[in-house]
Amino acid sequence: FAPLANAPVGFARMISALLAIDRWARDHAGAPQDAQWLIEEAAMYLRAWKPKATFVERPAPVVGLSGRPYQFQMSLDGELIDAIAPHPNATGGELRKLVDVRASPRNRAVDIRVILDDRRDPVAADQEGAILANLSKVWAMSKLIDAAGGQTATQ
């Protein structure tokens, strides 16, 4: 909105804003998915994979050896699940969580699964998954999609 006397300035600002949005969209085209979007997508496929299973979003936190509580994104029939991108930063954060949780004797029997989004970079997902596989089950998102009866982008 702009006063009628400043209509040309208001119009110029509106066009500048639209061009800035267009520039942002071009810069971010093909960028990795937002983490929350990945979590919601994984949840959708987990529910499709096991429709009768007990699914919980944000289950009760698990306390690590350090005494710090850790929140997992979801659980399916009691198995704690996180979905992450195959990026060293995401893997590093997940690895710290898994080491602390697994170090506590009370958590050794806890089932944990990490879903890694392998659709953009399968090689990176394999590399990051190999690191996490020592502490949890690791499942590629494309395998989850297949198990749920969906189709990956490459099919």
Greatest mean pLDDT among 2-6, 23-27, 59-63: 59-63
Contact status, residue 101 vs residue 64, Cβ threshold 8 Å: yes
Contact status, residue 38 vs residue 19, Cβ threshold 8 Å: no
SS3 for 110-149 is CCEEEEECCCCCHHHHHHHHHHHCCCCEEEEHHHHHHHCC
Look over the chain and give the mean of its residue pLDDT values, rounded to a whole number. Answer: 89
3-12, 22-31, 46-55: which has the minimum mean pLDDT? 22-31
Give 27's pLDDT tier (boundaries 50, 70, 90).
low
Using alpha carbons, select from 50, 47, 78 the residue that is nearest to residue 62.
Answer: 78
- pLDDT tens for 121-136 read 999 999 999 999 999 9
